[in-house]
């Protein structure tokens, strides 16, 4: 296995920083062998089979195109759970784990929850996993994403009600919720040049970008939906662009949301907002 590790580092050294490469090596070896990261360290004399060598080379060729390792492997970890990911859904980020933790801490165990723009289903499924008594629903405008999310719920043995909804359109649902949570698209198209190629060339554009002249379009529409579909005292949680947190708070204040709070992520950026309907 040490030979395989050396091979990976040689083949990919031009494509990743040293820290990134270390993580990619662990992910590849773990996927191919089934070893945990600790087991990798104590089993470096393991010999790869011909199939494992062929699989490794297949992965390496994909990675050299710039494809994110999560898409290459078809899975990623989020909140300690494994999720299938493909190019129909965004790759879950660590910052979103912090949003999930906040929702869990501030919500009643039997809450009725809606995740808007669910993508891979990571937020909704993690909430159901940690809040087993909650009634969790999730929607998306992409039928491909909903299919992936349903597979992830089944794989993680969680029951989530997934349904189609375009929050930018009129909707006729009469459902009421205790909690609405969303990590909607929030990157202005003008920032495309600042986004790394492995993100903008592979992750779904519709889940990333918003018009330059209306970067809060999804937040406004979701907030309007929340005003009509949250119970009194219900909570709205957002993940936000680091540059638009203050603007989003101001918008929610103008819409008469109460108990507004913004929190920073692990990198110190404005990232999460909570608002309450009274």
Burial 17-41 (b: 16+ CB within 10 A, else e): eeeeeeebbbbbbebbbebeeeebe
The reported pLDDT for the residue numbered 231 is 97
What pLDDT does residue 24 have? 94
- Using 50, 70 and 90 to split pLDDT, how confident is the model at 77? very high
Whether the per-residue pLDDT at 212 is higher than 90: the answer is yes
Q: Name the band, by pLDDT with cuts 50, 70 and 90, for residue 151.
A: very high
- Name the superfamily (CATH) of residues 87-276: Vaccinia Virus protein VP39 (3.40.50.150)
pLDDT score, position 30:
93
Pair 139, 165: CB distance under 8 Å? yes
Give the confidence band of 171 by pLDDT, cuts at 50, 70, 90: confident
Q: Report the length, in residues, of the chain.
A: 278
Do 24 and 63 form a contact (C-beta atoms < 8 A)? Answer: yes
246-269 per-position pLDDT tens digit:
999 999 999 999 999 999 999 999
Q: Is residue 44's pLDDT more than 80?
A: no
Q: Is the pTM of this model over 0.85?
A: yes
63-81: b (≥16 Cβ within 10 Å) or e = beeebbbbbbbebbebbeb
Residue 28 near residue 8 (C-beta atoms within 8 A): yes
Confidence of residue 108 (pLDDT cuts 50, 70, 90): very high
pLDDT digits 0-9 by tens, 111-147: 999 999 999 999 999 999 999 999 999 999 999 999 9
Of the listed ranges 158-167, 180-189, 199-208, the one predicted with least confidence = 199-208
109 pLDDT band, cuts 50/70/90, is: very high
How many CB atoms lie under 10 A from the CB of residue 254? 9
Q: Is the distance from CB of 148 to CB of 170 less than 8 angstroms?
A: no
- Provide the CA 180 distance to its chain's centre, in angstroms: 16
pLDDT above 80 (res 10)? yes
What was the pLDDT predicted at 36? Answer: 85
């Amino acid at each position: 296995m040490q030979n395989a590790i050396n091979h990976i580092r040689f083949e990919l050294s031009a494509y990743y920083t040293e820290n990134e490469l270390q993580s990619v090596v662990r992910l590849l070896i773990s996927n191919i062998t089934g070893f945990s990261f600790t087991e990798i360290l104590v089993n470096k004399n393991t010999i790869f089979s011909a199939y494992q060598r062929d699989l490794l080379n297949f992965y390496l060729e994909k990675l050299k195109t710039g494809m994110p390792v999560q898409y290459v492997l078809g899975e990623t970890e989020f909140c300690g759970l494994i999720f299938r990911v493909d190019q129909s859904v965004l790759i879950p980020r660590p910052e979103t784990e912090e949003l999930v933790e906040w929702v869990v801490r501030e919500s009643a165990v039997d809450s009725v929850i809606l995740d808007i723009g669910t993508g891979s289903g990571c937020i909704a499924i993690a909430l159901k996993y940690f809040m087993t008594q909650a009634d969790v629903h999730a929607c998306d405008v992409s039928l491909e994403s909903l299919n992936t999310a349903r597979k992830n719920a089944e794989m993680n043995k969680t029951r989530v009600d997934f349904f189609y909804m375009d929050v930018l359109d009129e909707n006729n649902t009469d459902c009421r919720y205790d909690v609405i949570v969303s990590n909607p698209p929030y990157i202005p198209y003008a920032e495309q040049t600042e986004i790394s190629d492995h993100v903008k060339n592979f992750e779904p554009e519709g889940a990333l970008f918003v018009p330059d002249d209306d970067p809060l379009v999804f937040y406004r529409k979701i907030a309007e939906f929340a005003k009509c579909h949250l119970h009194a005292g219900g909570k709205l949680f957002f993940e936000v662009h680091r540059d638009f947190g203050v603007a989003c708070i101001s918008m929610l204040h103008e819409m008469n949301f109460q108990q507004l709070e913004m929190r920073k992520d692990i990198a110190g950026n404005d990232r999460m907002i909570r608002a309450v309907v009274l």
